[in-house]
Amino acid sequence: MKQRIVTGVVAGAAFIFLLTLGGFYFAALIVLLTAVGMFEFNRMNGMSSAKLTAVLGYAFALYIAFPWGEVPGWSAMSYETTVWLALFLLFAATVLSKNKVTLDHISLHMLGIVYIGTGFHYMISTRLGDNGLFWTLMLFVCIWLSDSGAYFTGRAIGKTPLWPTISPKKTVEGALGGVAAAVAAALCFSLYAPDLLGWGRAVGLGIVIAVVGQMGDLIQSAYKRIRGIKDSGSILPGHGGVLDRCDSWLIVFPFVQLLSLIPQ
């Protein structure tokens, strides 16, 4: 527990510092997390990171995550074009390898590209958007407090299993506690900047962030259970890997932006 707390405090402080700096510093951190996330994803699925298809997976996930629009004079491919090109090249690998690279392999690589590359992309684009620090910090705080609220409420009064076949320790009472914590956090941001976030919208966003964030957590738990592993990695002592820590982020940030729940 001590190691977990120390790691959490140090990593959290460094993350908040780079988030506050924004720009290149935060983008560089997120791009690094993208690369580590893809490494963990490949290892979870028993795929070597040295294979050409894995290299393509890294390249396209990083390309999607990187904020090319901030590079002067650079005209980046659209998201749709990037995903289609990745799909084409991975399909071509099955032909050129005479099916030694299977459809199962390229399906997993495409899943990693879209899941990890897209999720991290929207973290950067949110930070670089209008009032980026406010919105990015609001989303992260709501996610973190939802996690904490669910954990402590579940420990205190949790009795009804939420989804025992996927995550036996999670309870309905804990999930509701997480929703309440996220709503309270969003309302605090509304009080701080009512011109950016009205209280009604804050309540709605808090609910959405908590529900979608907990779904992101369950998605990763289900995936790890299928693969028979406890953690996606060990880069953060006591906390597991990047995908363990970012499971909610990877779902919440694209969700709120794609549905235009916050300004882009």
Q: 59-113 pLDDT, tens per residue?
A: 999 999 999 988 777 888 999 999 999 999 999 999 999 989 999 999 999 999 9
Q: Are residues 31 and 113 in the same domain?
A: yes
Lowest mean pLDDT among 1-15, 99-113, 125-139: 1-15
pLDDT at site 236: 66
Which of 82, 103, 128 is the last residue before a domain boundary? 128
Report pLDDT digits (tens) over 193-248: 999 999 999 999 999 999 999 999 999 989 888 888 888 877 766 667 899 899 99
pLDDT at site 130: 92
Q: Are residues 92 and 4 in the same domain?
A: yes
Q: Are residues 150 and 255 in the same domain?
A: yes
Indicate the DSSP class of residue 240.
B
pTM score, whole prediction: 0.92
Which are the contacts of 126, defined by CB distance < 8 A and separation ≥ 6? 132, 135, 136, 139, 253, 257, 262, 264
Secondary structure (3-state) at 66:
coil
Q: Are residues 113 and 148 in the same domain?
A: no
Q: How confident is the model at residue 263 (pLDDT cuts 50, 70, 90)?
A: confident
What are phi and psi for residue 163, nearest 5 degrees? Answer: -155, 75
Report pLDDT digits (tens) over 135-168: 999 999 999 999 999 999 999 999 999 988 888 8
Which of 128, 145, 175 is the last residue before a domain boundary? 128
pLDDT at site 95: 95
Q: How many structural domains comprise the chain?
A: 2
Secondary structure (3-state) at 181:
helix
Q: Are residues 120 and 237 in the same domain?
A: no
Domain extent, residue 110, equals: 1-128
pLDDT at site 167: 86
Q: Are residues 208 and 94 in the same domain?
A: no
Q: Are residues 120 and 185 in the same domain?
A: no
Buried b (16+ CB within 10 A) or exposed e, 221-248: bebbeeeeeebbbebbeebbbbbbbbbb
Q: Are residues 235 and 142 in the same domain?
A: yes
What letter represents residue 108's amino acid?
A: L
Q: Are residues 82 and 147 in the same domain?
A: no
- Token pair for residue 226? 């299928």
Q: Are residues 17 and 94 in the same domain?
A: yes
* Residue 126 predicted with pLDDT over 70: yes
Q: Are residues 112 and 192 in the same domain?
A: no
Q: Are residues 209 and 253 in the same domain?
A: yes
Q: How many CB atoms lie within 10 A of CB 99?
A: 9
Which of 77, 97, 128 is the last residue before a domain boundary? 128
Does residue 260 or residue 142 have the better pLDDT? 142
